[in-house]
Structure 1
Amino acid sequence: MKTLRNILQEVEVLQLTGNADQSVAGLAIDSRKVKSGFLFAAIVGWQQDGHQYINTAIANGATVVLCSTLPSTLEEAVTYVLVKNTSEALAIVANEFFNHPSAAVKLVGVTGTNGKTTVATLLFQLFTALGYKCGLISTVKNLIGDEAYTAEHTTPDAISLNGLMRTMVDAGCTHVFMECSSHAIHQHRITGLHFDGALFTNITHDHLDYHKTFDEYIRVKKAFFDGLSADAFAISNADDKRGTIMLQNCNGRRLMYALKTAADFKGKIVENNLTGLIMDINGKEVHFRMIGEFNAYNLLAVYGAAVNLGEDADQVLAVLSNLHGAEGRFDYTVSANEKVIGIVDYAHTPDALLNVLATIKKLQQGNEQVITVVGCGGDRDKTKRPLMAAAACEYSTKAILTSDNPRTEDPQEILNDMLRDMKSEHKRKCVVIADRREAIRTAIMLSQPGDIILVAGKGHEKYQDINGVKHHFDDKEELINNFQELSK
């Protein structure tokens, strides 16, 4: 068991009141999870301030309190550690407490607005197929080899993250691939980790409810690359207009991938249809099972990372050609008799939705209808709501606006935001059905043989969040069940 002095050695402590040589039994940011001998970190969060729960944590057995503001009354039996930023200090403490797990593996982080899950999942699948035992930390699931752990957030809190990585190391993992969300970067959840490589996919408007401005969102993403060590590699998308910005001031090896401009990892789409992609990558032509231009970018990013991790380029391409990507990302099924194509995708930003619809347009072989079912999440960025509706209407034959995860908002108010300032020609294409199950059923009833139905926004999720309660709901399951009814 480590002492407090041990785990504070890399932390800039402003004031320490109490015993620095006591043992620390565990770490917690939730006062309800505190046990005897624990260190409780009072995190100033987006919605709550952990300093309000210091007394509860002490009552539950905390003997150390890490905080950025000292309580007015100090308990004699408790040691108080005052720091400037509790979140940043906790990440360093957690890293030390769990014996620097990130330094014991090849750790690659993936950031960007869209594509993080697919890239991280492909890397996990690729290196597993190459014979390594790997860990995956993603929106969809956390994996240690073939053992799955539920993912509550895109990137876990600093304690859970370091604990999970320690479990991965102890289980024999040599490589770990993780999504690094902007929230996680800003909240210092990944501070102190040793990254061997970092990937940037793209950046579009998202999470402005949290970051407030697009410039701040970009700055936070860039901070991930700014913090890399000189022995790490950083690979960015040269076709994204902020791709080069991400690598400015980066100390690591700076590399680029692209379809449209010169790059270290240069790709060209030769064919793109429902059987997959044929691409030329750095002069080698390869057939991939994955579909769409956005997946061409994802494959290039993965290829670049694998080569920089020392793998043979030809072998990497051979294995990649057989991989399928992440659940709920352009995940399609076909009805038995009518051959209606149903596609489930996580696209929940205007740019992601446009990318998916652009891919579908390229797959069309005639005059098939494209029917899009889409909603917007509650308690999230409201500025993207009318943009999501406009994208769906502009590039679909018919758009059905519906509920996503309303959370604590009224679904109708969310739909009203989506309809705000809608063009008259878009209104003629648009149907509003608040009940998501009914919206999907209606899309299938409106379809003709060979049509394409896109159900966007939730992807892999198996629930619908309504007033804090998660009700079972699976977009792909709904499509399959309705297709079976249609075929009877």
Structure 2
Amino acid sequence: MIHLKDILFGVSIQQVIGNTSIAVNNITFDSRAVSLNDVFIAIRGAKADGHSFIKKAQDQGALAIICEELPAQQVSGITYVIVENTKKALAILAANYYGNPSENLKLVGVTGTNGKTTIASLLYQLFTKAGFTVGLISTVKICVGDKQYETKLTTPDSITINKYLREMNEAGAEFCFMEVSSHGIDQHRTSGLKFAGGIFTNLSHDHLDYHNSFAEYRDVKKRFFDELPKTAFALTNIDDKNGKLMLQNTKAKQKTYALKSDADYRAKIVENEFSGLLLNLNGNELWTKLIGNFNAYNIVAIYATADLLGLSEIENLRIISELSSVDGRFEYFISPNKKITAIVDYAHTPDALKNVLETINTIRTKNEELITVVGCGGDRDATKRPIMGKIASSLSTKVVFTSDNPRTEDPDKIIEDVEAGVEPQNQKKIISITNRKQAIKTACSIAEENDIILIAGKGHETYQEVNGVRSDFDDMEIVKEFLNQLDK
């Protein structure tokens, strides 16, 4: 039996009307999910204010309401708890409700613009291969040991996070690796969690549709490190100009990694090929199946993290050499006859697209064409669109601009925004085809023997979202289908 006063422990309360010694059933911020004796938390969201649904929650049997302001009419027998910030309160309530599960394992958060999914997923692979029961909370999926669950958000809501962390406790998990997005930090979804470590990857242009400025975006990321406990480690990429800033106010043990700078953990690329990377990693030579400079950063980050979590160096290096790429992250397929290489990557920011294209250009012989299929998502930061257009057209030999997930925007207008960044000398390289499947088909049809096709933006996603409707769409499946047809 759970009592309201117990799950309120640690919440900054301004006023209580009613009894907190009552036994409660469940907690929820969705009024539609409220049932008898539940606690309803009224959250102010971007599209709706939970305070507008307090009456509905009361009508459906809520026993307690957590809110920032009292409803006009209170109901006898219901307890009202007024707090300054219901998002932060929700995170602490959720942690308490599920028994503070983050305290029973080593939880490591990964934040930054690019690389979060790859690093979290590779750490999950690494520690699983080392014989541990491991949890993963990522953009691609949530894992509890070998069980997998679908997810829609990079950083889920606080109730979902704690629910799965509790399941990890019950499964005997010792570690959990979790992506921590700027939205998640800003909305306090990670408040109330005890982290054993935090990793900063890099910072570049993204999410300015949500954050008012790059400085605000940067400072939200920094807040994650500011809040780490002194028992944790803070591992940062100091090749990124914001890397040292992340450590300025942290109480955690400070550690650094890099490819170019002096750091606690340093990698040097010896060979870079489509078959993989040969790295010198803190004096050890290591071959990995992962490809490109950006993956060299990912490898040194996971090597450092595993070392900080106590994995032996021999075991660490051995397993890293066995790791395979993450779905939709530089995932590639080579057609059997024409040897056309198709690469699918989640690159949906200017920096990520630049990294992938520069990696391909470093490896390729320049005798083959590099054909890029790319678009930009709707209802997201529009300022990056022309930058994406400029990068794609300057670093590819041919470009097909197309639709990504237009959501509620006009896909043709999005493509126009992307085209606006193309410099005059690169105009002849581009064509625009709104239908993404047709765009991929066109790229395949103009590709000749040994050419390279990059399909960027959606990566692991198996859907396309148009006007709120998601339809099945898998870039890798589609490009394989077209290339196999051409090979016959």
TM-score by length of 1: 0.99
What is the distance in 1 between the residues matched to 2:368 and 2:404?
26
Q: How far did residue 62 of structure 1 move?
A: 1.2
Deviation, structure 1 residue 315: 1.3
Deviations 1:141-182 (A, max 9, x none): 001111110011111100111111101111111110000000
Write the distance in 2 (CA, Å) between the matches of 1:394 and 1:178.
Answer: 35
Determine helix, strand or coil for the equivalent of 2:378: coil
Distance in 2 (CA, whole Å) between partners of 1:422 and 1:106 is: 46
Contact 1:463 1:473 in 2 (8 A): yes
Specify the alignment match of 1:260 in structure 2.
Answer: 260
CA distance in 1, matches of 2:27, 2:142: 21
Structure 1 position 163 matched with structure 2 position 147:
no
Aligned to 1:211, what secondary structure does the other structure show?
Answer: coil
The one-letter code matched in structure 2 to 1:384 is K
- What amino acid sits opposite 2:12 in the alignment? E
Tell me how far 1:63 sits from its aligned partner: 1.2
1:104-253 equivalences in 2 (<5 Å): 104-253=104-253
Contact 2:39 2:62 in 1 (8 A): yes
Partner of 1:357: 357
Q: Secondary structure at the match of 2:155?
A: coil
- Say which SS state the counterpart of residue 210 (structure 1) adopts: coil
Name the structure 1 match of 2:469.
Answer: 469
1:47 positional shift = 2.1
Deviation, structure 1 residue 336: 1.4
Aligned to 1:274: 274
CA–CA distance in structure 2, aligned partners of residues 457 and 58 of structure 1 = 43
Give secondary structure in 1 for the equivalent of 2:2. Answer: coil
Q: Tell whether 2:337 aligns with 1:337.
A: yes
- Aligned residue number for residue 103 of structure 2: 103
Paired AA for residue 260 in structure 1 = K
Distance 1:36 1:367 in 2: 69
Query: Unpaired segments of 5 or more residues in structure 1?
Result: none
TM-score by length of 2: 0.99
- The amino acid that maps onto 1:135 is G
Residue identity over aligned pairs, in percent, reads 50
User: What value does the CA root-mean-square deviation take over the aligned residues?
Assistant: 0.8
Q: Is the 8 A contact 1:121 1:325 kept in 2?
A: no
Question: Residue 407 of structure 2 aligns with which residue?
Answer: 407
Q: Once the 2 structures are TM-superposed, how far is the Cα of residue 61 of structure 1 from its aligned partner? A: 1.8
Q: How many residues in Structure 1 have an aligned counterpart in Structure 2?
A: 488
- Report the Cα offset of residue 19 of structure 1: 1.5
**Is the partner of 2:460 in helix, strand or coil?**
coil
- Is the partner of 1:358 in helix, strand or coil? helix
* Cα displacement (A) at 1:77: 2.4
Q: Structure 1 residues 38-47 or 188-197, which shifts more?
A: 38-47
| Residue 301 of structure 2: aligned partner | 301
Contact 1:403 1:415 in 2 (8 A): yes
- Once the two structures are TM-superposed, the CA of residue 83 in structure 1 deviates from its matched residue by 0.2
Q: What does the per-residue CA deviation read over 1:58-87, in whole Å, with 9 as the maximum and x for residues that have no partner?
A: 222211111111111111121111000000
Q: Structure 2, unaligned stretches of length 5 or more? A: none
Query: CA separation in 1, counterparts of 2:179 and 2:343?
Result: 24
SS of the equivalent of 1:470 reads strand
2-side partners of 1:73 and 1:227: how far apart?
38
Q: Secondary structure at the match of 1:307?
A: helix
Question: More deviation in 233-242 or 358-367?
Answer: 358-367
Q: Could you say which residue in structure 1 is the equivalent of 2:44?
A: 44
Match of 2:393 in 1: 393
Q: CA deviation at 1:421?
A: 5.0
* Map of 2:427 onto structure 1: 427
Matched, 1:55 2:51: no
1:56-95 → structure 2 map (5 Å cutoff):
56-95=56-95
Letter in 1 for 2:479: L
- On the 8 A contact 2:393/2:422 being kept in 1, the answer is no
Distance (whole Å) between structure 2 residues aligned to residue 48 and residue 300 of structure 1: 42
SS in 1 for 2:382: coil
- Deviation for aligned residue 1:484: 1.2
User: Quick check: 2:289–2:325 contact (8 Å CA) kept in 1?
Assistant: no
Residues 236-288 of structure 1 deviation map (CA, whole Å, 9 limit, x = unaligned): 00100000001111101101000001000011000000110000011011111
Residues in 1 aligned to 2:442 and 2:55: alpha-carbon distance in whole angstroms: 53
CA distance in 2, matches of 1:234, 1:19: 41
Alignment partner, residue 367 of structure 2 = 367
Name the SS of the counterpart of 2:14 in structure 1. strand
Name the CA distance, whole Å, in 1 between partners of 2:372 and 2:192.
43
Tell me what 2:316 maps to: 316
Cα distance in 2 for partners of 1:59, 1:470 equals 33
* Structure 2 CA distance for aligned equivalents of residues 12 and 212 of structure 1: 27
What is the CA–CA distance in structure 2 between the aligned matches of 1:386 and 1:361, rounded to whole Å? Answer: 21
Q: Which amino acid aligns with 2:289?
A: R
Counterpart contact for 2:14–2:84, Cα < 8 Å: yes
Determine if contact 2:348/2:376 at 8 Å carries over to the other structure: yes
